Amino acid sequence: MKQAPVLTERDLKRVLQHVARSSFPARNRCVLMLSWLAGMRVAEIAALKLGDICAPDGTIRAEIQLAPEQTKGSSARTVLISTQHAPEVSHNEIEESVVEYIINPVI
């Protein structure tokens, strides 16, 4: 089976520049970075629930536990969300984007 094409670093920079000019730049950057840095698929990102991202105390989880129905192949998996993935993305930046574009619209 042929390998799907992936973005190069140069491609990613161009996409991030475009995202910065979009209608919802923080949300779109968050989605893009979940895909690029954490390796999440589009359907997995779309299937995220508030409880998957936020701990009961309101903080952003360092790990996202995906249930089998949220993943391709129906196998549960863990996605790590931490600053070790890319130094340019801080945990605070992730937390602020999640609060602004996921939590606040629901409340």
Q: Which amino acid belongs to residue 32?
A: L
**Given this model, what pLDDT does residue 82 score?**
63
Q: At 12, is the pLDDT very low, low, confident or very high (cuts 50, 70, 90)?
A: confident
SS3 65: strand
* Confidence (pLDDT) at 14: 93
Cβ-count burial of 64 within 10 angstroms (0-12 exposed, 13-18 middle, 19+ buried)? buried
**pLDDT tens-digit readout, 24-82:** 888 888 888 888 878 899 999 999 888 888 888 877 788 899 999 988 888 999 988 76
Q: What per-residue confidence (pLDDT) applies to 15?
A: 92
Query: Which residues fall within 8 angstroms of residue 4, CB to CB, at 6 or more apart?
Result: none
How does pLDDT run across 90-99, given as a tens digit for each residue? 667 777 777 7
